[in-house]
Amino acid sequence: HRRFTLGERIERELIEVLAALIEAAYSRDKAALARANLRLSVVRHLWRLAHELRALPTRQYQHGSSLLVALGQQTGGWLKSSRR
């Protein structure tokens, strides 16, 4: 039950991240980038919680974590460059 609930929530949050990034790409106002960054932080915590509750194996956790870190670096870099 936890696995399904966490997976659904992670998926929903990632869709929100995607929507915010697309909005930022087509908008002059880059506030959507900050929203995407916030949602990504929520996803990171949910991902860690899923691993701690043993809802996903360590190898999947490691792979997903590395993807989340890469996405966070890209989003953070875009946010930083847009503030200049």
Chain segment 32-78, per-residue pLDDT in tens: 999 999 999 999 999 999 999 999 999 999 999 999 999 999 999 99
Query: What was the pLDDT predicted at 49?
Result: 96
Phi, psi of 29, rounded to the nearest 5 degrees: -80, 120
Report d(CA 31, CA 29) in Å as an integer. Answer: 6
Residue 19 confidence (pLDDT) above 90: yes
| Stretch (H or E) spanning 50 | helix 31-52
Query: What was the pLDDT predicted at 1?
Result: 78
Please tell me the pTM assigned to this model.
Answer: 0.90
Neighbours of 54 (CB within 10 A): 10
Query: What was the pLDDT predicted at 83?
Result: 84
